[in-house]
């Protein structure tokens, strides 16, 4: 397996400090069958990458193929911004502090 720490980890740590984002192939992420089944067959699951925290089911959409992100919609997976603002990350206070208006 060839997991790589996301190069944007400093920014992601500010947004979601409890998460650790890694780049890996979709195959290595071992996504549920219903997600994999939605990914177009033209994409090789061994080649296309996902940037995610597998343990917490959070994806960094800006570093993930759009078809993979779309396949995760409506599942138990969160996009990192959603996780930090309205998902479980908001409940634990690990989201970024709100900006003053």
Total domains, the chain: 1
CA distance 3 to 23: 6
CA distance 30 to 14: 27
| Domain membership flag for residue 98 | no
Print the domain residue range for 28: 4-91
Indicate the helix (H) or strand (E) that contains 58.
strand 58-59
pTM: 0.84
| Domain membership flag for residue 99 | no
| Domain membership flag for residue 97 | no
Q: What is the pLDDT along the chain (101 residues), one digit of tens a residue?
A: 568 999 999 999 999 999 999 999 999 999 999 999 999 999 999 999 999 999 999 999 999 999 999 999 999 999 999 999 988 888 765 444 443 33
Q: Are 69 and 59 in contact (CB under 8 A)?
A: yes
| Domain membership flag for residue 67 | yes
pLDDT of amino acid 93: 52
| Domain membership flag for residue 28 | yes
| Domain membership flag for residue 33 | yes
pLDDT of amino acid 90: 84
Q: Which residues contact 58 (CB under 8 A, 6 or more apart)?
A: 16, 19, 21, 52, 77, 78, 79, 80, 83, 87, 89
């Amino acid at each position: 397996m060839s997991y790589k720490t996301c190069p944007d980890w400093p920014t992601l740590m500010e947004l979601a400090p409890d998460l650790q984002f890694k780049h890996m192939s979709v195959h290595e992420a071992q996504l549920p069958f219903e997600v994999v089944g939605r990914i177009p067959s033209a994409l090789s699951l061994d080649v296309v990458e996902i940037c995610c925290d597998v343990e917490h089911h959070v994806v960094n959409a800006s570093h993930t193929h759009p078809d993979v992100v779309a396949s995760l919609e409506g599942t138990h997976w969160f996009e990192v911004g959603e996780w930090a603002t309205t998902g479980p990350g908001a409940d634990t206070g690990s989201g970024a502090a709100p900006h003053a208006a």
